[in-house]
Amino acid sequence: EDQVTQSPEALRLQEGESSSLNCSYTVSGLRGLFWYRQDPGKGPEFLFTLYSAGEEKEKERLKATLTKKESFLHITAPKPEDSATYLCAVQAGVGRGSTLGRLYFGRGTQLTVWP
Amino acid sequence: EAGVTQFPSHSVIEKGQTVTLRCDPISGHDNLYWYRRVMGKEIKFLLHFVKESKQDESGMPNNRFLAERTGGTYSTLKVQPAELEDSGVYFCASSPQGTNYGYTFGSGTRLTVV
């Protein structure tokens, strides 16, 4: 069964204190792994897509990496405006026919960055 | 470019009533998805339209849920009759042709069944 587990559930950081969020996944044939940011009362906002092990992508203070079993979202020198829930989702690979488009989400990591 | 629009943003209805949620995707996006987040759980897939056709509706919880996408533009999700366990946030997302793009999500409709 396709599954996505994120840890920790919640993380409190002081401004400037770097850390990493983890996303472990089990899926038969990974087509893509997605990271989203979600602010209260809003929908998930797309950050990155990773397609294969070893791939890395960066955006401002965020860097996402991918291995065959997990992905990390590294946050370097975070600021209070980085506070949000970070969601990881996977898309299963070829051979899934009509279900190819769906995403499987983790429960998210709620990040709070205090000044 | 306008984003994905959902309305209403909030709905409170009594058990047994009917509610219809609407989603307007980004213009030109062939793919439209409905997802739901029940309190304390992860966001879960409900169904996927490609233009006006249902590509995958295997995530729909039961036959009280009916989704339509007439003309391949906006979509509606009707819950009839609503039950307490239907409470949650319903998200709509859209993406261009092809399925390996990061979706654009709407802000969601928070449904409360009392």
Chain B hits for A41, CB-CB cut-off 8 Å, are 107
* Inter-chain CB proximity A106 and B41 less than 8 Å: no
Residue A101's pLDDT is 76
Distance from CA of B83 to the nearest CA of A (A): 23
Look at residue B99 and tell me whether its pLDDT is greater than 60: no
B67 Cβ partners below 8 Å, 6+ apart?
B34, B46, B47, B49, B54, B57, B60, B75, B76, B77, B78
Percent of chain B with pLDDT over 70: 96
Look at residue B13 and tell me whether its pLDDT is greater than 80: yes
Look at residue B98 and tell me whether its pLDDT is greater than 80: no
What would the mean pLDDT of B28-57 be, rounded to a whole number? 94
pLDDT confidence band for A31 (50 / 70 / 90): confident
* Inter-chain CB proximity A43 and B43 less than 8 Å: no
β-sheet bridge partners, residue A56: A65
Residue A1's pLDDT is 67
Tokens of residue B101, six digits: 């793009």
Asked if A91 has any chain B CB less than 8 Å from its own CB, the reply is: yes
Q: Could you tell me how far CA B107 lies from the centroid of its own chain?
A: 11
Look at residue A57 and tell me whether its pLDDT is greater than 60: yes
Look at residue B100 and tell me whether its pLDDT is greater than 90: no
Q: Characterize B57-73 residue by residue with b for buried, 16 or more Cβ atoms within 10 angstroms of its Cβ, and e for exposed.
A: bebbeeeebebebeeee
Distance from CA of B82 to the nearest CA of A (A): 23
Phi, psi of A79 (to 5 degrees): -120, 160
Q: Alpha-carbon distance A55 to A67, whole Å?
A: 8
B104 Cβ partners below 8 Å, 6+ apart?
A46, B3, B4, B26, B29, B93, B94, B95
Percent of chain A with pLDDT over 90: 82
pLDDT confidence band for A95 (50 / 70 / 90): low
Q: Could you tell me how far CA B50 lies from the centroid of its own chain?
A: 14
